[in-house]
Amino acid sequence: MLRLVRLVALLLGLLLGGTWAYAWVTRAPGESLGDAFAGRLALLFGGSPAGGPSAGGLQLPQGMVLGGPFSLVDQSGRAVTERDFAGQWLLLYFGYTYCPDVCPTELGTIAAAMDSLGPLGEKVVPAMVTIDPQRDTPAQLAEYVTRFHPRMLGLTGSPEQVAEAARRYRVYFARVNRADAGDYLMDHSSFVYLVGPDGRVRSLFRPEASPDDIAAVVRAQLARAAAAS
Contact 205, 191 (CB under 8 A): yes
Q: How far is the CB of 7 from Ni ion (least distance, A)?
A: 27
What whole-number distance in Å separates Cα of residue 139 and Cα of residue 20?
Answer: 36
- Shortest distance, position 34 Cβ to Ni ion, whole Å: 28
Q: Does 129 bind Ni ion (CB under 5 A)?
A: no
Residue with CB nearest Ni ion?
99
| Least distance from Ni ion to the Cβ atom of residue 178, Å | 15
Where does residue 192 fall: left (phi above 0), alpha (psi -120 to 50 degrees), or beta otherwise? Answer: beta
**Can you spell out the DSSP letters for 108-176?**
HHHHHHHHHHGGGGGGEEEEEEES-TTT--HHHHHHHHTTT-TT-EEEE--HHHHHHHHHHTT--EEEE
Residue number with CB closer to Ni ion (37 or 144) = 144
Residue 43 CB, shortest distance to Ni ion, in Å, is: 26
Report if residue 95 touches Ni ion, rule: CB under 5 A: yes
Which residue in the set 66, 103, 128, 216 belongs to the binding site for Ni ion (CB under 5 A)?
A: 103
Positions that interact with Ni ion (CB under 5 A): 95, 99, 102-103
